[in-house]
């Protein structure tokens, strides 16, 4: 077998496995499987004979037809959970009720085997719910993250322009108006001339 043929077989098996996994995730698979398996011992055991040496024990009772009906219904309910997932609640409750009835009708629920399988399968079918697609959850998280980031953005600090035109210059001092130079001169921290600095700091030149 060549490497290409082996890769082709592996790829085909992987695709089938992936598709089966997707199909299984869209329905109560394990609940349907347990309910399906519960029907077989309930149908089989009441119609069989147990032989111990030369002693033959007949396990069939007058309720053999009832055991057959319960087993067939459990098999149908298990298939319903697989192929009709929207009816899972009804199928699960019906499976639980039939499992309880089998305790009386079908040899103590086929010696507790069918009873326990049907009870667990019905409970899993009722409790199962469809999940949310992963892509939508990731998309929603990304949008919320972007909104939080934009909400926590700090406001930009004010900027001062150092360029000015002749029309913006003061007619008396020849300094530009509306710039950082004027703001600093008001507080006395910087000035354009020495006289303005002394006056802003509260000092006068002697003489």
Express each pLDDT in 40-83 by its tens digit: 999 888 777 777 777 777 666 666 788 889 999 999 999 999 99
Q: Which residues on neighbouring strands pair with residue 57, listed in sequence order? A: 50
Overall average pLDDT of the 164-175 stretch: 50
Query: What is the pTM assigned to this prediction?
Result: 0.58
Is pLDDT larger for residue 166 or for residue 84?
Answer: 84
Express each pLDDT in 1-47 by its tens digit: 555 555 655 677 888 888 999 999 999 999 999 999 999 999 888 77
pLDDT of 101 higher than 90: yes
Overall average pLDDT of the 192-207 stretch: 49
Question: How far is residue 42 from each of residues 1, 6, 39, 115, measured CA to CA in Å?
Answer: 47, 44, 5, 8
pLDDT of 197 higher than 50: no
pLDDT of residue 191: 47
- Residue 50: other Cβ atoms inside 10 A: 10
Average pLDDT, rounded, for the chain = 73
Overall average pLDDT of the 159-169 stretch: 49
pLDDT of residue 50: 73
Q: Over the range 7-37, which residues count as b (16 or more CB within 10 Å of their CB) and which as e?
A: eeeeeeeeeeeeeeeeeeeebbbebbbbbbb
pLDDT of residue 131: 77
Of 29-33, 108-112, 122-126, 184-188, the one with minimum mean pLDDT is 184-188
- Residue 49: other Cβ atoms inside 10 A: 9
Return the SS3 of 100.
Answer: helix
Question: How far is residue 176 from each of residues 147, 163, 192, measured CA to CA in Å?
Answer: 42, 9, 11
pLDDT of 120 higher than 60: yes
pLDDT of residue 86: 93
Instruction: Return the structure tokens found at 107.
Output: 């040899």
pLDDT of residue 45: 83
pLDDT of 171 higher than 70: no
pLDDT of residue 190: 47
């Amino acid at each position: 077998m060549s490497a290409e043929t082996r890769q082709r077989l592996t790829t085909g098996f992987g695709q089938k496995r992936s598709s089966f996994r997707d199909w299984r995730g869209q329905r109560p698979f394990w609940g349907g499987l347990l309910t399906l398996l519960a029907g077989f011992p309930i149908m089989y055991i009441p119609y069989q004979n147990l032989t111990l040496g030369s002693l033959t024990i007949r396990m069939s009772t007058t309720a053999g037809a009832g055991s057959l009906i319960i087993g067939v219904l459990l098999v149908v309910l298990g298939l319903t959970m697989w192929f009709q997932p929207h009816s899972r609640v009804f199928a699960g409750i019906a499976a639980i009720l039939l499992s309880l009835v089998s305790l009386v009708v079908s040899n103590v629920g086929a010696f507790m085997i069918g009873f326990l399988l049907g009870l667990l399968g019905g409970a899993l079918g009722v409790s199962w719910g469809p999940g949310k697609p992963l892509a939508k959850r990731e998309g929603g998280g990304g949008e919320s993250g972007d909104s939080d980031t934009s909400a926590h953005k700090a406001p930009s600090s004010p900027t001062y322009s150092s360029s000015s035109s002749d029309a913006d210059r003061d007619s008396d001092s020849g300094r530009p108006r509306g710039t950082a130079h004027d703001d600093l001169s008001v507080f006395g921290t910087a000035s354009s001339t020495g006289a303005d600095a002394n006056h802003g700091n509260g000092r006068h030149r002697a003489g």
